[in-house]
Amino acid sequence: RPCLGGAAGYGVARAISQGVVRGAFTNEAGLGTGPFAYGSCRGGKPDVMGVLASVQVFIDTPVLCTLTAVCLLCAGWAPGTDGAALCLSAFSNAWGKTGETLLALCVVLFALASMISWSAYGREALSAFCRPGHTFAWLFAAAVAAGVCFEASGVLAICDLFNLLMALPNAAALWRAANARMNICDSLF
């Protein structure tokens, strides 16, 4: 029985960790990239930009992820599949070749939008330290080309590592800001 409990605990912990990793990957909440996207809007009011940032996370996570889960449960999928193959199986079950084509188009558009936005984020972050010039564009293009040559699981592991490396300074800054605020509140009372 302890062995089964440990296995169940490992399964739950793995599910939670994968959920957090994929959640951060899809909506970037907590990574510190929001200021790049919303700060570049010209003439935007800070309160409106803050609401838009919150709504974006809400639409992505509870709405789209729940819709994906409902689609998977309703359409069914091939046993033993996960990730993109899981969604492909469900779309294929529901709409045949049309579903496969639709999902492929969605994946291509998502990948293109992700590459454009992450390129802009990286260039903006690097510009805080130096003038990136065309060198950054060439390095980014080389990274995209290299990503095509490797297995998807390896590329996702590298993306997860870079997301973690981006989240750590943001978490440290938030921790420091929270402690500073606590000290101010303690001094007031």
How high is the pLDDT of residue 109? 92
Contact assessment for residue 27 and residue 57, using Cβ atoms and an 8 Å cutoff: yes
How high is the pLDDT of residue 62? 78
Helices (H), 40-151: 46-58, 66-75, 83-95, 97-127, 133-149
Handedness of CA 37, 23, 61, 170 (dihedral sign): negative
DSSP state of 162: H
Mean pLDDT by 10 residues, the chain (189 residues): 54 70 68 75 79 81 80 80 80 88 89 86 80 84 88 82 77 80 63
Q: How far apart are CA 43 and CA 40, in angstroms?
A: 9
Residue-level length of the chain:
189
How high is the pLDDT of residue 22? 67
How high is the pLDDT of residue 155? 83
pTM of the full predicted structure?
Answer: 0.68
